[in-house]
Structure 1
Amino acid sequence: MSSAFPTIDQTSFQNSFVEELRGDTSNLNRPRQVPGYHYSRVEPTPVQDPRLLAWSDDLAAFLGLAKPTERGSAVDALAGNLVTGSMKPFAARYGGHQFGSWAGQLGDGRAISLGEVTATDGTFWEIQLKGAGPTPYSRRADGRAVLRSSLREFLCSEAMHHLGVPTTRALSLVGTGDLVVRDMFYNGNPQAEPGAIVARVAPTFVRFGNFQMMASAGELDNLRALADYVIRRYYPELGEPTGPEVYVRWFEEICRRTAVMIAYWMSVGFVHGVMNTDNMSILGLTIDYGPYGWLEPYDPDWTPNTTDFGSRRYAYGQQPNVGLWNLWQLARALAHLVPDPELLRPGLDLYSSTFEQTRHEMMLHKLGLTSQNPEEDKALFEALHEALAGAEVDMTLFFRHLSHAAPAVLRHPASADTAWPELLAAAAYSTSPEEEQSLTQWLHRYLLRLQQETAAPEAIRERMLSANPKYVLRNYLAQQAIEAAEAGNLSVLERLMQVLKTPFAEQPEHEDLAAKRPDWAREKPGCATLSCSS
């Protein structure tokens, strides 16, 4: 990284959200309703002993920021202990549907945005401190975050970026030196845990819930002002918002981006865990990494979120439907900007068609297929999902091992009798003879389809390897990094960060990080299940 880059305390911030939208005129920093405004100005609450624990070198290079020392004024800024003259920190006001029910005003209860920095390509990126203290939107909470959740958000933001998934980013992880009391599973067992703050980064953190809040409160001027701000700043290709047709095209683009994002989730087996409308980015980015997880045994009904165990509303297989439902709620808010709500319906249709098309294309890529045979391929994909769901097969390992095995069998078909059992042994946690037979039958069917391809087996292999990661942020790996960090050992976190930067590379020296979830992690808190507590 160039030494010419400034540290964050030396850089100049822009403040478009604060300067272009309506701010709360009260400086009363206690939980309260904030009618009539888009945000509240609020400064972070200082912490005892801020210390840099982790840093994203490639994001910092893109933003034009130098890595700070372990302690010092730059880390003070990343912890909220230092607010520079160009920062205008604020907490945004928004509402949302939580688990399907309208929750009213929510807002940034522990996230405080410092403003925007100009990246090396001239674009603007907002830097937000999560866990920086109370705001008017904190309700009954303390505005803080613990190390375990902050480390998980830091790691996952960057891991998803390197997988190619549309996502917010994370710049730094700072330990606070303070203890934070949390009841991890809301079961009457609160514990004092080390506190931490993650600096997360996105062009904007505006979400569906910002618009829902304005519409629900009848603040139509604020609704229009926010929409116009987002369109001008983040959707300039749509032109000036001078009439309803611009809002219609904007909504369609939101729907398209959201569909692509969720198709990426499904492709890599990612489960967000808490797809409330206040956790949906207006830019189609993955936002708010809470109780997430990756499918290990392939199970469409699996959710990592203990809060969702009753309904499994946010389970892996439900994510596409929830995305559509959330967009419908956004459409209800934006309907105030157009003369006829029906004008927004094509956007919802576009979501569905875009999701299906994108997911289909991703499955072709994952299976090394290029030639088009739509009906046959759709049936083949559906049969695979059914076969995987009927067996305890690790999704990531199945596709990765298939990337090697299928081209090899294509070159030597007689090797299938040994290659397919070896594949299932490598990817399955356990299978019955019937489940193994079902998957083997699918593999033979897939081989027949693969034989229709004109590409050489080696080209097919490379295509598959570029779509099927070897390394994903399994919850047990994140938990190991958390436990080591809590004990003062950051080497586990640092190693994991480096490996996840190139998740499609073989990296044989890190083979242990690509292993199946061990038996000890099956039921261990933080490894199999999590809650919204952080």
Structure 2
Amino acid sequence: MHAPRFDNVLLRELPGDPESGPRPRQVQAAWSRVQPTPVAAPRLVAHSREMAAELGWSDDEVRASAFADVFGGNALLPGMDPFATNYGGHQFGHWAGQLGDGRAITLGEAVLPGGARRELQLKGAGLTPYSRTADGRAVLRSSVREFLCSEAMHHLGIPTTRALCLVATGETVVRDMFYDGRPQAEPGAVVCRVAPSFLRFGHFELPSARGDTALLRQLADVCIRRDFPHLFDGGDDAPLEALQRRGAFTPERYAAWFAEVCERTARLVAGWMRVGFVHGVLNTDNMSILGLTIDYGPYGWIDDYDPDWTPNTTDAQGRRYRFGWQPRVAHWNLARLAQALSPLFDDAAPLQAGLDRYADAYVQAERDTIARKLGLVGCEDSDVELMQRLQSLMQAARVDMTLGFRALADVDPAHPSADVLADAFYDTALREAHAPALEAWLQAYAQRLSRDPLDAAGRRARMAAANPRYVLRNYLAQQAIDRAEAGDDAGVAELLDVVRRPCDDQPGREAFAAKRPEWARTRAGCSMLSCSS
């Protein structure tokens, strides 16, 4: 099995913990060296062929036992130098202090042909200094969900960390799934996730909270130089120290960086809202500095349209992270990041400008979403109100979000009828009660289409690209998990293949596009989930 070239910038350019190993401790540094804990019988369950090809591994190499050994945590490739990073975060609105990679271990930073970088990180690979009282492991059910959703989001066109592979460990892990005092032994697994960077808002919050401005500045400089090189004029490839000596990291450059982080975050959240994705636990330590979806825990997809829905049992009372609040929570998290970065600025104006850029970028992205989902060339001011009326009707009538928007492409502007939405309703009585209001909305929509320059074929193509037919509904993921826990990995592979083409019609796979069945409405894993994994 060949190895890509590794160049571990974070280890080289950020201060490390003088102690290695997994002993729990407070760490006054950016990272700690720690080895993955070997497992009994690593076995490949599934892999992303696209991600493997990008990293240079053939199907034969992936299926070899050496691959499972490496990505189960039992072996290393030349150049890998495993470490866990240190960060803090605000959890459910409260400062939590040091958190860190409690069960994630980065194997190294691979350099691809052409110079692109990808960090390879094992999730569930054992104890680190940041595991606190946990065991650093992950169960198969959560690992299947992370593996599938990482790839599903990528194929939906939403920025995300990726998943290379899913490896069963041959060991069990004890988890109390719903924190109800009934722990059970479950099969364990490790996911290898991949991203240009796993730096989070919390990486910057922790040194700022500790008053360690030197580490804060070094983190920002390394992040900008490695992950935002386009912010340097002329593609300057000078070493970090040379740039620092000549004063390249000015408040203006920090401001440009923060503004871009804000804009990327706005586009990310707008993508979630477009497809009905609910992250479930938007703490600041789960926010990527690159604007990627990161940490797939108790996530879910909206079934019947409900902006107040959260998939997270831990959030069931406060619903801080419910679907409709995600844009404002992201803004709140960016405000915490701005506060953390304030020692790098002479005044608050550039930070406020970045937060304003988030608001502007989100409005722009939301208007683009409206135009695309409704099949319009552009979004007029009245279209915003038109979309809001539709969403209110979908909520009141319990219309499936995915099926409802997908069916709109079948509306005949000459004879608009709510019959095209028939399969998207969860309640027949509510369908009948709201039929007049829906017919009135469809009449208004048809009038709007008559003023739009797109022809019928162009409208349908535009809507099909924005309104997926297939999303990773919780009950579909749970069915694949049930099969995997019984020893049948084929369900994971089949579902992965479905989500590779989320916007295409896939004859013979209509069952994967159906609305949530009634049995799944209250079943564990299909409706609400916990952070326990």
Could you tell me whether the CA contact under 8 Å between 2:368 and 2:378 is conserved in 1?
no
Deviation at 1:16?
0.8
Which amino acid in the other structure matches residue 523 of structure 1?
T
Alignment of 1:92-491 (within 5 A): 92-239=85-232, 241-372=248-379, 374-403=380-409, 405-406=410-411, 409-410=412-413, 413-414=414-415, 416=416, 419-421=417-419, 423-430=420-427, 431-491=430-490
Could you tell me whether the CA contact under 8 Å between 1:52 and 1:71 is conserved in 2?
no
Residue aligned with 1:230, SS: helix
Residue aligned with 1:389, SS: helix
What is the rounded CA distance, in whole Å, between the counterparts of 2:455 and 2:508 in structure 1?
29
Which amino acid in the other structure matches residue 484 of structure 2?
A
Could you tell me whether the CA contact under 8 Å between 1:91 and 1:112 is conserved in 2?
yes
Could you tell me whether the CA contact under 8 Å between 1:62 and 1:120 is conserved in 2?
no
- Describe the superposition over 1:260-307 as per-residue Cα deviations: whole angstroms up to 9, x where unpaired: 000000000000000000000000000000000110010000000000
Counterpart position of 2:67: 74
Identity %: 54
Deviation at 1:86?
1.1
Residue aligned with 1:24, SS: coil
- Describe the superposition over 1:421-444 as per-residue Cα deviations: whole angstroms up to 9, x where unpaired: 2x2321111125333332222122
Unaligned runs of 5+ residues in structure 1 are 1-5
What is the rounded CA distance, in whole Å, between the counterparts of 1:266 and 1:101 in structure 2?
25
Residue aligned with 1:393, SS: coil
Deviation at 1:71?
5.4
- Describe the superposition over 1:466-515 as per-residue Cα deviations: whole angstroms up to 9, x where unpaired: 11100000000000000000111111111111111011110021011000
Which amino acid in the other structure matches residue 479 of structure 1?
Q
Counterpart position of 1:505: 504
Could you tell me whether the CA contact under 8 Å between 2:4 and 2:56 is conserved in 1?
no
Which amino acid in the other structure matches residue 216 of structure 2?
L
Residue aligned with 1:429, SS: coil
What is the rounded CA distance, in whole Å, between the counterparts of 2:333 and 2:270 in structure 1?
15
What is the rounded CA distance, in whole Å, between the counterparts of 2:180 and 2:323 in structure 1?
25
Alignment of 1:14-53 (within 5 A): 14-35=7-28, 37-53=29-45
Deviation at 1:72?
1.9
What is the rounded CA distance, in whole Å, between the counterparts of 2:135 and 2:302 in structure 1?
32
Could you tell me whether the CA contact under 8 Å between 1:420 and 1:443 is conserved in 2?
yes
Which amino acid in the other structure matches residue 333 of structure 1?
A
| CA RMSD, Structure 1 to Structure 2 (Å) | 1.2
Could you tell me whether the CA contact under 8 Å between 1:51 and 1:70 is conserved in 2?
no
Deviation at 1:11?
3.1
Counterpart position of 1:3: none
Could you tell me whether the CA contact under 8 Å between 2:138 and 2:188 is conserved in 1?
yes
Which amino acid in the other structure matches residue 369 of structure 2?
M
Could you tell me whether the CA contact under 8 Å between 1:111 and 1:128 is conserved in 2?
yes
Work out the number of aligned pairs and report it.
516
Could you tell me whether the CA contact under 8 Å between 1:231 and 1:238 is conserved in 2?
yes
The 10-residue stretch of structure 1 (512-521 or 72-81) with the greater mean CA deviation from structure 2: 72-81
Residue aligned with 2:211, SS: coil
Unaligned runs of 5+ residues in structure 2 are 233-242
Which amino acid in the other structure matches residue 515 of structure 2?
K
The 10-residue stretch of structure 1 (469-478 or 241-250) with the greater mean CA deviation from structure 2: 241-250
What is the rounded CA distance, in whole Å, between the counterparts of 1:69 and 1:156 in structure 2?
20
What is the rounded CA distance, in whole Å, between the counterparts of 2:495 and 2:325 in structure 1?
29
Which amino acid in the other structure matches residue 505 of structure 2?
E
Deviation at 1:458?
1.4
Change in CA separation of 1:463 and 1:225 when aligned onto 2, cut-off 3 Å: same
The 10-residue stretch of structure 1 (385-394 or 497-506) with the greater mean CA deviation from structure 2: 385-394
Which amino acid in the other structure matches residue 328 of structure 2?
N
Could you tell me whether the CA contact under 8 Å between 1:63 and 1:120 is conserved in 2?
no
Select the residue among 48, 52, 57 that pairs with 1:65.
57
Change in CA separation of 1:219 and 1:104 when aligned onto 2, cut-off 3 Å: same
TM-score normalised to structure 2 length: 0.95
Which amino acid in the other structure matches residue 190 of structure 1?
P
Could you tell me whether the CA contact under 8 Å between 2:370 and 2:384 is conserved in 1?
no
Which amino acid in the other structure matches residue 148 of structure 1?
R
